[in-house]
Amino acid sequence: MDFELSPTARDYLARLNDFMDEYVYPAEDDYASWRMEQGHNDHRLPPIVESLKKQARAQGLWNLFLPDVSGLSVLDYAPLAEVTGRSPDIAPEALNCAAPDTGNMEILHLFGTGEQKHRWLRPLLDGDIRSAFAMTEPDVASSDANNIATTIRRDGDDYVIDGHKWWTSGIADPNCAVLLVLGKSNPDGPRHRQHSLILVPADTPGIRVVRDLPIFGYHDQHGHGEVYFDEVRVPAANLLGGEGDGFALAQGRLGPGRIHHCMRVIGMAERALELACRRAHARIAFGKPMAELGAAQHQIAECRLAIDQARHLVLHAAWKIDKYGAKHARGDISAVKIVAPRVACDVIDRAIQIHGGKGVTDDTPLAGLYARARAMRIFDGPDDVHLRSVAKNELAKYS
């Protein structure tokens, strides 16, 4: 296997690093100040990010996640996504490479009708609107998508949706124009043919957003909504694929999305390690810089070893997707979905420890990075489910 980047990817990477240094990192304080002033109930995109989006698009750093647009392989995209993960609130959004839009765009790109692409995909690719993905439910174990209880019922030329969702990421943003909703359309059908996936305009009557769910007290700019669907009626033409295709489409969406999250979380870990090293050099303890103390050196060495191992696992999974397809790399995707956020949590925790009391405040990005990395061990499938998948793949070799 060969992890060498293509010339196109190397060019993108150089330009992206320059963009991060010149525009993104200097914008972080502005972004944080604006959100603090507005309060967590204001989910508008901070003006600084709108400015960054224009700058990124002008530089051709736009929609890099989509191979048919960027010309990049999954392996090529990995280091780019990692770099954006160093500033996860700003950089993915600035490049139009932020979840859940990326996964939703991939589904529309692959399975949308001409009309669906014209109405929803084009404005998403242009960064004019946002979208949400509504799968998880509070009343069932949604890690097994077959438990999803929201109903999608055919009624003449329409479908009618009833149900209760939460962690509907993206729905609080005023620019959210469409939801992809997974629901049960044929409860008596075969296990993996009971569900359908449907496009629901965000302003459709019957949608009620109850609240935005925080993560360890942090409110995402786009929101993680708890949502009720009460007799929500949309045209039958809004169905993605056919009836009963929902489970397969949702799983197909989650595969690439998972590895993109893993790429970004490696960048989060690298940012934490950089902050830890800078702190260790600058902070004097017991008469010398912390960088000269064995305890700090041990922590930093462990971080470097863990990050490099996790990165190679992510690159291997990306290489396998490129060579054999996402379906044949499912076990590898499950493996990195376990390892990458675990490593990030551990590295960020060590960086917090090196920072002392400052590490648990918002004076550094560390507390926010930890909250995001820890949540990743649950969303897109908890560790326990992915461990089960890895175990089944391993045991099958000897059955």
Distance CA 291, CA 284 (A): 9
Residues 93 and 146 both lie in one domain: no
Residues 315 and 181 both lie in one domain: no
Q: What is the pLDDT averaged over residues 153-173?
A: 97
In this predicted structure, the answer to whether residue 152 has a pLDDT above a threshold of 80 is yes
Strands 195-201 and 239-240: antiparallel
Query: Looking at residue 287, what is its pLDDT?
Result: 93
Write out pLDDT tens, residues 218-229.
Answer: 999 999 999 999
Residue 116 lies in a domain: no
Helix (H, G, I), strand (E, B) or coil at 183: strand
Q: What is the pLDDT averaged over residues 182-209?
A: 95
Write out pLDDT tens, residues 300-341.
Answer: 999 999 999 999 999 999 999 999 988 889 999 999 999 999
CA distances from 251 to 182, 192, 261 (A): 11, 11, 15
In this predicted structure, the answer to whether residue 385 has a pLDDT above a threshold of 80 is yes
- State the pLDDT confidence band at 141, using cuts at 50, 70 and 90: confident
Residue 111 lies in a domain: no
Write out pLDDT tens, residues 250-278.
Answer: 877 766 788 999 999 999 999 999 999 99
* Pair 262, 337: CB distance under 8 Å: yes
Chain-wide mean pLDDT for the chain? 95
Residue 112 lies in a domain: no
What predicted TM-score, i.e. pTM, was given to this entire model?
0.95
Residues 231 and 261 both lie in one domain: no
Write out pLDDT tens, residues 196-242.
Answer: 999 999 999 999 999 999 999 999 999 999 999 999 999 999 999 99
Residues 197 and 303 both lie in one domain: no
Query: Looking at residue 355, what is its pLDDT?
Result: 97
Helix (H, G, I), strand (E, B) or coil at 154: strand
Q: What is the CATH number of the domain that holds 330?
A: 1.20.140.10
Query: Looking at residue 254, what is its pLDDT?
Result: 65
* Cα angle 393, 247, 156; round to 5: 165
Number of domains in the chain: 3
- State the pLDDT confidence band at 183, using cuts at 50, 70 and 90: very high
Q: What is the CATH number of the domain that holds 160?
A: 2.40.110.10
Query: Looking at residue 250, what is its pLDDT?
Result: 82
Residues 236 and 254 both lie in one domain: no
318 HSE (CA, 13 A, CB side): 29
In this predicted structure, the answer to whether residue 60 has a pLDDT above a threshold of 70 is yes
Residue type, 342: R
Residues 226 and 343 both lie in one domain: no
Indicate the residue among 208, 240, 272 that finishes a domain: 240
Query: Looking at residue 255, what is its pLDDT?
Result: 64
Peptide bond into 100 cis (omega under 30): yes
In this predicted structure, the answer to whether residue 399 has a pLDDT above a threshold of 90 is no
Residue 109 lies in a domain: no
Residue 104 lies in a domain: no
Residues 202 and 261 both lie in one domain: no
Q: What is the pLDDT averaged over residues 127-140?
A: 95
Residue 124 lies in a domain: no
Query: Looking at residue 252, what is its pLDDT?
Result: 72
Nearest to 303 by CA among 262, 352, 364: 352
Strands 176-184 and 207-212: unpaired
340: containing domain: 250-396
Query: Looking at residue 81, what is its pLDDT?
Result: 97
In this predicted structure, the answer to whether residue 180 has a pLDDT above a threshold of 80 is yes
Residues 85 and 150 both lie in one domain: no
For the chain, give the percent of residues with pLDDT over 90.
Answer: 90
